[in-house]
Amino acid sequence: METALEELRRLAAHAENRRTETGIPRLAMVQGKIPEHDLAAVYDPMINLILRGSKSMTVGDRTLHYDPATYFVMSVELPAVGSVHPATTGEPYLAISLTLDPKIIAEVLASAPAAAGRESSPGFSVAPVTSELLDAWVRLLRLMEHPDDIPVLAPAYEREILYRVLQGPQGWMLRDIATPETALARIHAAILWIRENFTQPLRIEALADRVAMSVSAFHRQFKAVTNMSPLQFHKTLRLMHARRLMVTEALSAAAVAIRVGYESPSQFSREYSRLFGQSPARDTADLAGAWRSAS
């Protein structure tokens, strides 16, 4: 597997600190340090493979660590806090990710062996990488050197990656997001609604009804998938969006509080401090200063 990893590192070596598009649909890469306000964000469903260094992802009160021996799967949009670390040799962190498309997963499933889904399981996990999965990644990234081949070959190699993940221990997550009647797919629909309407008050009964679940089942399944209650998820979305606005647009805490749906700036400051460990003004000043120093 080390030979495949070395080739992947070579192919991805021109990645930038921030997310770098590759020209291959849904495939991106990143290298080196990443601003903390970018790592505390809502992550899209993805498969993330680290090529060098390591990463930690915290969702709610659960933290997962992974490195080039493992890969990370997130099957629903989740607010998470990440941290990346260079290799023990000092070489910069390097990773690639494939954003998940449920329609493509469903197409792969149509020809894949049948398997049962699982109830009440998290929508994110880490699994050991295999040589077959790495080989599929190599074939996909090689297309960056042959862009004319991308339209014809990239769909086949993407499907191979998805198939290898479907065969692995986290394959049930991909199956469930592509199967509309599963609990995970229903929670995914609820998450999408919250994400599109996070500035509005959250009414649990109406949202449970929207995804055809009882309130008790909705609470139970939502907590199982996201490691957060619906209200905690909603609040975290607001606060992470507010943090990004204050860093990138230099907005005041009072202005941002109203913009993300808070009626009380003081409540916003209390909840922000509880999530990020310090006041909005101090936190965003520290973030901006740290990134300027690292740049």
User: Is the domain of 198 the same as that of 95?
Assistant: no
- The full DSSP string for 239-281 is HHHHHHHHHHH---HHHHHHHTT-S-HHHHHHHHHHHHSS-HH
- Among 128-132, 163-167, 285-289, which stretch is predicted with the lowest mean pLDDT? 285-289
User: Is the domain of 159 the same as that of 184?
Assistant: no
Q: 101: left (phi > 0), else alpha (psi -120 to 50), else beta?
A: beta
**Domain final position from 177, 211, 226:** 177
Average pLDDT of the chain to the nearest whole number:
91
More confidently predicted of 27 and 294: 27
**Domain final position from 144, 177, 210:** 177
User: Is the domain of 204 the same as that of 246?
Assistant: yes
User: Is the domain of 162 the same as that of 187?
Assistant: no
List the CATH number of the domain containing 99: 2.60.120
Boundaries of domain holding 206: 180-295
Strand partners, 81: 40, 58
Q: What is the mean pLDDT of residues 213-222?
A: 96
Q: What is the mean pLDDT of residues 60-85?
A: 92
C-alpha pair distances (Å), 293 with each of 28, 64, 143, 289: 26, 28, 36, 6
List the CATH number of the domain containing 274: 1.10.10.60
**C-alpha span between 256 and 242 (Å, rounded):** 6
Q: How confident is the model at residue 263 (pLDDT cuts 50, 70, 90)?
A: very high
User: Is the domain of 240 the same as that of 272?
Assistant: yes
**C-alpha span between 170 and 166 (Å, rounded):** 7
Say how many domains are in the chain: 2
User: Is the domain of 209 the same as that of 73?
Assistant: no
Residue 12, token pair as written in the block: 């991805």
Most confident range (mean pLDDT) of 11-20, 37-46, 217-226 is 217-226
User: Is the domain of 150 the same as that of 249?
Assistant: no
User: Is the domain of 172 the same as that of 267?
Assistant: no
User: Is the domain of 73 the same as that of 150?
Assistant: yes
pTM for the predicted model, two decimal places: 0.87
**Domain final position from 125, 159, 177:** 177
Sheet containing 20-21: which strands, arranged edge to edge? 20-21, 27-31, 94-99, 46-52, 70-74, 124-128
Q: What is the mean pLDDT of residues 200-226?
A: 96
pLDDT digits (tens, 9 = 90+) for 156-174: 999 999 999 999 888 888 8
Long-range contacts of 211-217 (CB under 8 A, 24+ apart): 211/186, 211/187, 212/186, 213/183, 213/186, 217/183
User: Is the domain of 169 the same as that of 184?
Assistant: no
| 292 phi and psi angles, rounded to 5 deg | -65, -40
| 240 phi and psi angles, rounded to 5 deg | -70, -40
